[in-house]
Amino acid sequence: MKTLPLFRTYLTGFFLYALIEIAARGYTHWTMALTGGTALALLSVLFAAAPQRMPMPLRYLCGAFVITALELTVGCAVNLHLHWHVWDYSRLPLNFRGQICPLYSTFWFLLCIPARHLTEALRQHFS
């Protein structure tokens, strides 16, 4: 995958995720825009590299795992190390240190469905 189209995918994720979060909870944090851009760029690479015979639900599960791992990484840095309190899932069941939980991993799975279509459209548009 070429660098410029991947950067454009990153920028798309950067702005789209920030807008989604503002629409959902009324605000966002700049680190979430960075994370959203990184997530969409990683998903783009994942979906492009996945074998054609891999079932779509399995691709979405892999995408949800990637996003959850990214969320844990960023959460440990910004919430636990820097104490910025960007999010806290500690009140949700089965959370890990308040940074990730099954409920949000399910949301990430569902978000991978439109993300796959978006990354394909971006790949075709920028190719």
Find all residues with CB under 8 Å of 75, minimum gap 6, and list them. 86, 87, 97, 98, 99, 100
**What is the average pLDDT value for the chain, to the nearest integer?**
96
- Looking at residue 14, what is its pLDDT? 98
Q: Are 32 and 17 in contact (CB under 8 A)?
A: yes
| pLDDT, tens only, 75-116 | 999 999 999 999 999 999 999 999 999 999 999 999 999 999
Residue 27 main-chain phi, psi, to 5 deg: -160, 170
Read off the pTM. 0.94
Evaluate if residue 27 carries a pLDDT over 90: yes
* Nearest CA among 123, 118, 119, 113 for reference residue 60: 113
Evaluated on CA atoms 102, 103, 109, 112, the torsion sign reads negative
- Looking at residue 56, what is its pLDDT? 97
pLDDT band for position 126 (cuts 50, 70, 90)? confident
